Amino acid sequence: MTEKKKLYIKTYGCQMNVYDSERMAEVLGGADGYDQVDSPEAADMILLNTCHIREKAAEKIYSELGRYKPFKTANPDLKIGVAGCVAQAEGAEIMRRQPMVDLVVGPQTYHRLPEMMKQVDAGQKALDTDFPEEDKFDHLPDRPKPKRAPSAFLTVQEGCDKFCAFCVVPYTRGAEVSRAPDRIIREAQELVERGVREINLLGQNVNAYASDDWGLTRLIWALNDIDGLERIRFTTSHPNDMSDDLIAAHGECEKLMPYLHLPVQSGSDKVLKGMNRQHTAEQYIRTIERFRAARPDILISGDFIVGFPGEEDADFAATMDLIREVNYGQAYSFKYSARPGTPAAERAFVAADVANARLQELQALLTTQQRALQESMVGQEVQVLFEKAGRLEGQMIGKSQHLHAVHVLAPNQKIGDICRVGITNSETNSLGGELAIR
């Protein structure tokens, strides 16, 4: 029997890319396909699943490709592919800049990878960045059966129609499209049969999910009925697609976790307008209040951009005020990065040193809030879903309902167990705890 060829996938960017990488590994797997490996050194194929959201993310791809040159020299049969949003945005330009790239595939066409690989194996280049008529999910192989990690991503919606002035997603991922609910429910059932206990529903605008008369809330309630599935999460939401029933579900649906990632980007109405966010800071804050009324312990997470064109000191101060008012348990913050082809890229930039100083100040405040929330968990009991063994003998690491990483000495527990844990201490990025006595 000949040995199977080896595939190394490196994933950049968001959780949807993590999901897509899994599916690409499945498409390229199979009987005479590739086995996935953890390092590029011995691989027969290297695939970079890329992110285009900020300039740094895109530039990283070219430097990473540069690193692979010696591998290609040592093994001329090595195939190199670029997938994801940089592939979608740059297309053939990637092969011009880096001729050793054999294959470029966008996020909507990776179900065509087997055909593309035939071309590549025949010594040709393969490029496909269509937005095809057919749905890739109809053409992907059924998900394989081996046991898997207890927490899984499941893409339910892709693309974005919002056109925030800074963002490439509407161009790289295309228009908002939702998958049919029966397919999603079947995929969820199969994941549960393979040991999954927590599903994180993914979408660029996941709360815009709409298929026939199904919305995200109905989907969550349908998943709630799956025996063995214990936790449901969803991300990322947009403030303008929030519905009353989704808010209410946070108080009613036990499997729905008390965590909401709701990006606002800025606390200044002037900047929000310039960003084409189509909502005010006040509207955002009211939405958060409604979530807290439905589920008082909900952890709020957000995204922020500082140094957006036109942001003045008073606008930044408004963002800091909004952060103080909301009190975030988790947040992601970025310096504005001009993306070619987006409306904001044409506008005058904020000076880099000003933007850097604002980012530091904003991150310091967010860190203080995150730490304070973590500290407040000490003495409380949480439920932890164990995901992996820790470094210490008998230690397990898992996630609480609020997505805090929790380290526990639990030598008799298995990965996939959900246990009650008393929180004893708060570290930089995690909590420590002890199993609660039953």
Query: Which residues contribute to the site for ligand 5AD (CB under 6 A)?
Result: 53-54, 166-167, 263, 265, 303, 305, 334, 336-337, 339
Contact 275, 308 (CB under 8 A): yes
Q: How far apart are CA 252 and CA 234, in angstroms?
A: 16
The sign of the CA dihedral 190, 194, 198, 202 is: negative
Task: Give the binding site for ligand SF4 (CB under 6 A).
Answer: 160, 162-164, 167, 169-170, 204-205, 238
Cβ 53 to ligand 5AD shortest distance, Å: 5
Cβ 183 to ligand 5AD shortest distance, Å: 26
Cβ 350 to ligand 5AD shortest distance, Å: 12
Q: Tokens 């040991």 appear where? A: 195
336's contact among ligand 5AD, ligand SF4, none, with CB below 5 to 8 A by partner kind, is: ligand 5AD
305's contact among ligand SF4, ligand 5AD, none, with CB below 5 to 8 A by partner kind, is: ligand 5AD
**Nearest residue (CB) to ligand 5AD, 65 versus 350:** 350
Cβ 53 to ligand SF4 shortest distance, Å: 8
Q: Tokens 């660029």 appear where? A: 204
Q: How far apart are CA 375 and CA 285, in angstroms?
A: 24
**Nearest residue (CB) to ligand 5AD, 40 versus 203:** 203
Cβ 216 to ligand SF4 shortest distance, Å: 15
Cβ 292 to ligand 5AD shortest distance, Å: 21
**Nearest residue (CB) to ligand 5AD, 51 versus 385:** 51
Cβ 194 to ligand SF4 shortest distance, Å: 30
Q: How far apart are CA 397 and CA 409, in angstroms?
A: 9
| Three-state DSSP class for residue 226 | coil
Give me the DSSP letters along 269-311.
HHHHHHTT--S-HHHHHHHHHHHHHH-TTPEEEEEEEES-TT-
**Nearest residue (CB) to ligand 5AD, 62 versus 332:** 332
**Nearest residue (CB) to ligand 5AD, 54 versus 79:** 54
160's contact among ligand SF4, ligand 5AD, none, with CB below 5 to 8 A by partner kind, is: ligand SF4
Strand duo 198-202 + 299-306: pairing:
unpaired
334's contact among ligand 5AD, ligand SF4, none, with CB below 5 to 8 A by partner kind, is: ligand 5AD
**Nearest residue (CB) to ligand 5AD, 256 versus 305:** 305
Q: How far apart are CA 402 and CA 162, in angstroms?
A: 28
Contact 369, 323 (CB under 8 A): yes
| E strand segments, 43-160 | 45-50, 79-83, 103-105, 126-128, 151-155, 157-158
Q: In whole angstroms, what separates CA 62 from the centre of its chain? A: 22
163's contact among ligand 5AD, ligand SF4, none, with CB below 5 to 8 A by partner kind, is: ligand SF4
